[in-house]
Chains A and B, each alone.
Chain A
Amino acid sequence: MDAVLKAEGLTKEFKGFVAVNKVDLTVERGSIHALIGPNGAGKTTCFNLLTKFLQPTRGTITYDGRDITRMAPADIARLGMVRSFQISAVFPDLSVLQNVRVALQRKRGDSYDFWRSERGLTQFDDEARAHIDAVGLSEFTDTRAGELSYGRKRALEIATTLALDPAMLLLDEPMAGMGQEDVERTSALIKRIAANRTILMVEHNLKVVADLSDKITVLARGEILAEGDYDTVSKSPDVIDAYIGAGHD
């Protein structure tokens, strides 16, 4: 199996505080890789570094054999590596259909056309509706995204992301704030979309992680504590220590 995303010596310092320290991470093509760790372990920072929303202090990141360490975040997305956000990321004042269309129209490449009518965008309607159907939102197609419930906003976010047909997805706590029923539905959805994609996710829900991931990396205080499948990681004394330690803070 080959590595699709690779970070070497990834370090991020904020004014003397080292949030992420010399992290080496290899995500294999077609796998579901989870990044876990107690609060403040640097998961989200790490995530933002990989998607270039933060610039690393040191270290290199390669995606698909290409050095992306100095690239802009929008260009990373164009290479097929698309991220989600912890708080649901929709465009609240646009309808559900328009939300998905925004993703579809980017690929067309002429989104700078300010003199054209938006009527031309209806050519994406069928494709957009298919993505909306796939996440079970068809009855809300014309609803303002801001009016959707939390769970449905997350579903819309996934539909929008899938509309880009990314080769790699980075999910930042996809289950955060979800009820049990939504967690199961989303788990199934992630499993389905992982069929021909690579997924790296940050997640707190250990049951989900155990269930979904092929490989788990445990971070604590900005460093890698353990790596491997769920059984290996869950038996590691360091990990047990870190989690119990954090629990007693």
Chain B
Amino acid sequence: MSVSDIQPETNERRPATAGMPKLHMAIFAVLFVVLAVLPMLVYPVFAMKVMCFALFAAAFNLLLGFGGLLSFGHAAYFGGASYVAAHASKVWGLSPELSIIAGTLAAGILGLAIGALAIRRQGIYFAMVTLAFAQMVYFFALQADFTGGEDGIQSVPRGSLFGIFPVDSNEALYYLVLAVTFGGILFLYRIVHSPFGQVLKAIRENEPRAISLGYRVNRYKLMVFVLSASFAGLAGATKSQVFQLASLTDVHWSMSGEVVLMTLLGGVGTVFGPLLGATIVVTMQNYLASMGAWVTVIQGVIFVLGVLLFREGIVGVISKWLKRPL
């Protein structure tokens, strides 16, 4: 009797691999419509904050969920970019789109430098190296002149898009932020579903095998690290324009922890999980703010419950019920 006769086998058909599944397209479309009318329903600044964090979590998810790398220092890219963008707007007088690009590039370069060293280590050591470098960025922000120390960079002017369209009002800025974050999230989706993404998944699933097929896995890891850092930077740079502020909170290690929380709560390795996780965490912080220090306690309880009840995150569990990747 052969081994293959003993083990049960299911031959469940999966949807064709080519193109975006209709379900994903529908969810993105609904999401876009909801976001387009959202400023009429909620305070636009709050909605913009949610979108920035959703992009941040999605960028983090690219690294953890598809690269299999747990960074504990993503605040460095998020916050670093927010400082650079704030400085570019305030001191250099750049228009918002150029400041955001400057912040994103800075985060990418920072990611390249830190990533090149961190990917030589694995697992917990990788996480520790990223944390150590992020702490260096934090102390740099605390000590350097142009970062404003404890005060951060305040009252950053919003300026005019391309130097033409003023985005001083929250309503005008909202649509810029919507375009940037939604575009960023769609681009991250594309990365996951690209030839590169395919190799990335192979490396995550079985690294020695990917090596034996001739893939130089460290290059892929570095590339996904830089991409993740850049998009985290895009989120941070955009946030600095929204709040007209870059502060130590953005580079603090607790920010690195928060993005891990958002991603795990929503569902690591899913497309929509990080977006949901970010929405839940930001909403909680916003509406429970009056409870002061209790926010952290409530957040902790929700996280513990989340991990106990939904091991794969909320979207991960739903995806299992529906038997479809989400």
Contacts and interface: CB of A to CB of B under 8 A. Distances in A.
B9 interface: yes
A53 interface: yes
A103 B209 CA distance: 10
Contacts of A97: 17
The B contact surface, by secondary structure, is: helix
B290 interface: no
Residue with the highest number of chain B CB atoms closer than 10 Å, among A72, A91, A117, A121: A91
Bin chain A's interface residue count. 35 or more
A115 B191 CA distance: 6
Contact of A142 (B7, B13, B219, B220): B13
Interface in A151-205: 151-152, 160, 164, 177-182
Given A77-B211, A77-B213, A103-B213, A118 B195 contact: yes
Contact of A149 (B6, B187, B199, B219): B6
A102 B18 contact: no
A74 B217 CA distance: 8
Interface string A86-125: 0001111111011001110110101111111111111000
Contact of A102 (B17, B198, B211, B227): B198
Contacts of A164: 213-214
A119 B215 CA distance: 21
A148 B7 CA distance: 9
B202 A91 contact: yes
A182 B195 contact: no
B282 to A, nearest CB: 28
A147 B208 CA distance: 20
B202 A182 contact: no
A152 B206 contact: no
Nearest to B20: A117
Contacts of A144: 12, 14
A51 B208 CA distance: 11
B11 interface: yes
A140 interface: yes
B98 to A, nearest CB: 22
B197 interface: yes
Contacts of B217: 74
B223 A85 contact: no
Contacts of B171: none
B2 interface: yes
Bin chain B's interface residue count. 35 or more
B226 to A, nearest CB: 10
A152 B4 contact: yes
Given A77-B213, A106-B215, A177 B3 contact: yes
A78 interface: yes
Residue with the highest number of chain A CB atoms closer than 10 Å, among B1, B190, B195, B199: B195
A78 B212 CA distance: 9
A73 B12 contact: no
A143 interface: yes
Nearest to A139: B11
Contacts of A102: 198-199, 202, 210, 213
Given A94-B202, A152-B4, A178-B3, A77 B214 contact: yes
A128 to B, nearest CB: 11
Interface in B193-239: 193-199, 201-202, 205-206, 208-217, 219-220, 223, 227
Contact of B223 (A84, A90, A95, A114): A114
A120 B214 CA distance: 21
B292 interface: no
B221 to A, nearest CB: 12
Nearest to A108: B195
Nearest to B16: A142
B10 interface: yes
Contact of B4 (A115, A116, A142, A151): A151
A82 interface: yes
Interface in B25-67: none
Interface string A199-229: 0000000000000000000000000000000
Given A144-B14, A179-B2, 18 more contacts: A77-B212, A82-B212, A95-B14, A95-B17, A102-B213, A111-B196, A112-B223, A115-B194, A117-B19, A117-B193, A118-B195, A118-B197, A121-B17, A143-B10, A147-B10, A147-B12, A164-B213, A178-B3
Leading 6 A-B pairs by shortest Cβ distance:
A77-B214, A181-B2, A114-B196, A89-B209, A149-B4, A151-B4
Interface of B: 1-7, 9-14, 17-19, 187, 190-191, 193-199, 201-202, 205-206, 208-217, 219-220, 223, 227
